[in-house]
Amino acid sequence: MRFGVYHVIMSFVSRRHFLNTSGATLFATQTLGQAANSKRIKAAQIGTKHPHAEGKFTTMLDLDDVFEVVGLCEEDNTQRERVSTRRSYQSSTWLTEDQILGDPEVKLVAIETDIDHLVPTALRCLKAGKHIHLDKPAGQKLAPCKEMHHEADRRGLTIQMGYMLRYNPAFEFLFKIVKEGWLGEITEVHGHMGKKASSGLRKELSQYPGGGLFELACHLIDALVTILGKPNDVHGVHVKTQRDAFKDNQIATFQFDGALATIGSNHNDPFGGPRRQFTVVGTEGTLAIQPLEPPKVSLALTKDRGKLKRGTQQIPMPKTEGRYHGEFRDLAKIVKGEKSLAWNSEHDLIVQESLMLASGLPLDD
């Protein structure tokens, strides 16, 4: 692709994805990080049972220019023994939850418990005055989720949900061109996230009535709500492909004014990773992301948009600093008061309600 076109793409995607693209930039980043050590945010993590727990903790350690990680908590002794020898945790300080919440210098807590303990733990952190990064999904009941967001809003604290695709460069590009009107009126969206679940993962996820879609495809529902807002109607279809309790093959439809969307998840798909995709169709263009990580993007336009020409073209995406680095760099700016989170509590509650309906979970209020 010509340099001019690539420059257009770069202008749409946050510069955080280019931190490590040159030696000069890396040197500048290290120098600034050393100078700013005294202003680093003290952070901690509660929980190690979430599938993303180790990755999130490693990311905060890696971002030592913005975070001083004081330690982590795992109050299940069996789990702690199981994970304490992992490289990411070996040199870490193990703390109790009370030690973390009682330390006024700890400003941020990443919450990486199992799903059912995410929201109760978040609420305790908020009441202790902590900003939080909360992994997904936000529990199986709507009322506690509402209480959590109300507490955060009342205290002026931030809840950053762990929907990592928000900071994927392809989705950043998508959100911006939709906002700019490049695709015209959105009429259709299709998304899918699947994998080949092991017997252990099937057993673990079978405890959640919402099935695999509830645990995994919530990322795509967050993206859907970002571009189209609250759906008027949501319906889910759920199939079991094996003789166990796990709803492993699901699809949900979402109806909006003038638009339809489908989001699916299949946990019995041996090629689920490369088949993960998100496609947005509008009256003036279509954007398709497949696979999602690392993203490959195809854009079709009915007319020229700056350096991008009418017709179908492949859009190169920049290499990211890391899977979770973007969200934690953004969160650091928010905690420091330099900006506000782009997704508010109203958005997050719409996502949670839509996810529950799509997964076949009852709304409890």
pLDDT at 278 over 70: yes
CATH number at residue 346: 3.30.360.10
Q: Is there a domain that residue 1 lies in?
A: no
**In a shared domain, residues 248 and 107:** no
Whether residue 4 lies inside any domain: the answer is no
Q: Are residue 331 and residue 261 in the same domain, yes or no?
A: yes
Instruction: Say whether pLDDT at 107 is over 50.
Output: yes
| 47 φ/ψ sector (left φ>0, alpha ψ -120 to 50, else beta) | left
Tell which of 162, 177, 211 closes a domain. Answer: 162
CATH of the domain at 141: 3.40.50.720
Say if residue 340's pLDDT is above 90: yes
pLDDT band for position 13 (50/70/90)?
low
pLDDT at 15: 46
Domains in the chain, number: 2
In which band, very low, low, confident or very high, does the pLDDT at 308 lie, cut at 50, 70 and 90? very high
183 and 301 belong to one structural domain: yes
The residue range of the domain holding 203 is 165-358
- Per residue in 25-82, pLDDT tens? 333 444 444 444 458 999 999 999 999 999 999 999 999 999 999 999 999 999 999 9
**116 plus 239 within the same structural domain:** no
Percentage of residues of the chain with pLDDT beyond 90: 89
Average pLDDT in the 250-274 region? 97
**pLDDT value, residue 31:** 45
**Statement to judge: residues 114 and 151 lie in one domain:** yes
